[in-house]
Amino acid sequence: METKQSYHINYLNSELGRRIKKNPHYSLRSFARDLSITSSWLSEVLNGKKGMSIEKAQSLCYDMGLSSVESKLFQLSVRAAHARSDKDRAAAREELKKFKAGKSSLQRMSNDDFQPLSEWYYLALLELTELPECQHTEEWFAKKLQLPLRLVSSALKLLVDKGHLHLEDGAYIATHAESSTLFDVPSEAIKNYHRQVMTVASKALQEQPVQQRDFLNMTLAFEADRAEEAQKVLRKFQQDFARQFYPQDSNNKNSIYQLSIQFFRLDKKGD
C-alpha cells in the first residue's frame, strides 16, 4: 500500500483539515458523510490500510469539486497505488512523474493569495503565455488584451514577484498548470473578480459576432434545498469541459476564451 506521501491521501487529509479549520465541529465522520462513504473506510484509506478503485476516486473527485488538473493527479495517484496489475501501477507512476515534471501542476490559492490578482486580466495573462504564438513582450500582451502598456507591465511584474510566472531565456513561463480558489469560502476578492468578468462579458455581448461567443440563459422554478446538488453538477460540467477543450499538452491553442456560469436565486427567500 502507498503511504501518506501519495497525492490522493495528502489531498484528502488537506481537505479534511481545511474543513475543520473552517468549522471546528467538523470531523472525519462529517467528511465521510459529505463524500457518501463510511467513516471507517475513509479512516483506513487515510492511514494507508485500504486501497481505492478508480471508480471511487472519480466519485470523490466529483463530490469534492476538484478541478481537471486536481482530478487527474488524484486519479493517477490512486492508479499508481492501487491498480490491479504491476504493469498498470508502473504505467500510472510513469504518467504521474511526467505530468508533474512539466509543471508544478496545480496551485490552490487562498483568498489572501488571490486578493492582489483579482483583476480579470491577471488570469488572462497567465493563459496567454500558453499560446505557441506568444511573443513574451509587454507590448504584445497589451495589444492582445487591449490594455494600457503601463497596466500590463505592472501586472506581469506582480505575477513574477508572486511566483505565478518566471522568466526563462526571455520568455514568461507559468509556474503552475492551473490555479484555483476555494469555491465555498466568501471572499471580496473573488466577488470582485466575478463582477469584472461580467463587465467584460457585457462588452463581448455588444462587440463580438455570434460565431465567437455564446450566451445561454434559463429561468426555472426550482427546489431550493437542491442548490448544493446543482452546484456539484455544474462543477462536474466545468471539469468535463476543461478535460475536453483545455488539454495541457495541446500545441494548437491560439486564443483565450472565458467560460462563465451563473446560478443564483431570482426571487426573494421567504421568512
Q: Pick from 184, 180, 266: which is nearest to 232 by CA?
A: 184
Task: Report the CATH number that the domain containing residue 66 is assigned in CATH.
Answer: 1.10.260
CA 117/CA 110 separation, integer angstroms: 11
Higher pLDDT, 82 or 186: 82
Given this model, what pLDDT does residue 219 score? 94
Q: Does 154 lie in the same domain as 164?
A: yes
Q: Does 258 lie in the same domain as 156?
A: yes
57, 74, 102 - which closes a domain: 102
In which domain, by residue range, is 86 found?
Answer: 7-102
C-alpha distances out from residue 196 to 200, 202, 264, Å: 6, 10, 17
Q: Assess if residue 69 is contained within a domain.
A: yes
CA 270 to chain centre: 34
65, 80, 102 - which closes a domain: 102
Strand partners, 171: 168
Q: Assess if residue 2 is contained within a domain.
A: no
Q: Does 204 lie in the same domain as 81?
A: no
pLDDT (tens digit, 9 = 90+) per residue, 82-141? 998 999 999 988 888 777 665 444 555 666 666 777 889 998 998 899 898 999 999 999
pLDDT for 186 beyond 70: no
Q: Does 113 lie in the same domain as 74?
A: no
pLDDT for 220 beyond 60: yes
Strand partners, 108: 180
pLDDT for 3 beyond 50: no
Q: Does 219 lie in the same domain as 145?
A: yes
Number of structural domains the chain divides into? 2
Band of residue 66 on the pLDDT scale cut at 50, 70, 90: confident
pLDDT (tens digit, 9 = 90+) per residue, 128-170? 998 989 999 999 999 999 999 999 999 999 999 888 888 888 8
pLDDT for 185 beyond 50: no
Given this model, what pLDDT does residue 239 score? 78
Q: Assess if residue 1 is contained within a domain.
A: no
Q: Does 123 lie in the same domain as 85?
A: no
pTM over 0.95? The answer is no
Q: Does 36 lie in the same domain as 161?
A: no
Given this model, what pLDDT does residue 170 score? 87
CA 132/CA 252 separation, integer angstroms: 8
pLDDT for 2 beyond 50: no
Given this model, what pLDDT does residue 137 score? 95
pLDDT (tens digit, 9 = 90+) per residue, 234-244? 888 887 888 78
pLDDT for 172 beyond 60: yes
54, 81, 102 - which closes a domain: 102
Given this model, what pLDDT does residue 248 score? 64
Percent of the chain beyond pLDDT 90? 45
Listing DSSP states for 179-239 in one string gives: EEE-TTS--HHHHHHHHHHHHHHHHHHHHS-GGG-----------GGGHHHHHHHHHHHHH
Given this model, what pLDDT does residue 112 score? 62
